[in-house]
Structure 1
Amino acid sequence: MGEFVRVAGTADVKPGHGIVAEVQGKTLAVFNVDGTFHAIDNTCVHRGGPLGEGEVEGGVVSCPWHGWQFNVATGECVKNPSAKVAVYQVKVDGDEVKVLI
């Protein structure tokens, strides 16, 4: 069974934005959608773009390289739901955002 590992402080991820976080050899995209935090794999399945650097709107992040869009809660590609990125369970512990690795 995995463990929850700190990836950011709650103040580090502004509402409506994302960040890139490195944890235990994984590169994650962590998002704050109206105070709810989500974590997905940072690498877009299309061409490897950094999802954590993309624009977030309504729970959907757009890859900054080619515009592919992913639901940050489910990891599903908006236009092709069979194309997914990994999703990680998140919990907030005080002022820390932790992800199950």
Structure 2
Amino acid sequence: MAGKTQNLPPKQVTDRHAILRVINVYRDLIMTLTDAIIVLLLAETIHGTDEAIRKSAKNMAKRLPRSKRSIMYEIAESKSPRELMRHIALGLDGDEAEMSTNSPEI
């Protein structure tokens, strides 16, 4: 990788290093449960397989605080994680609908 940066103009080298530093900072941040659920919903939408959801749930459990990991392990160990994710997604839709009916008109 060092050979590639030697051929770049100085401005591009600096930009590349700044981007890599930002990526490293965000990689170490702890995810929220909402972030993890979004990842699982994306895995279900993109791949549509139980195995993709299980694998994503196990990966997300590693990034969550210990107190929030149990739900990811429950999803990963479920007989049908796709159905469980659909149930969670329906719950999210209900929350949004409830929020919109309770919000004041602007």
What TM-score do the two structures reach when normalised by structure 2? 0.22
Bigger radius of gyration among the two: 2
Which protein has the bigger helix share? 2
Which protein has the bigger strand share? 1
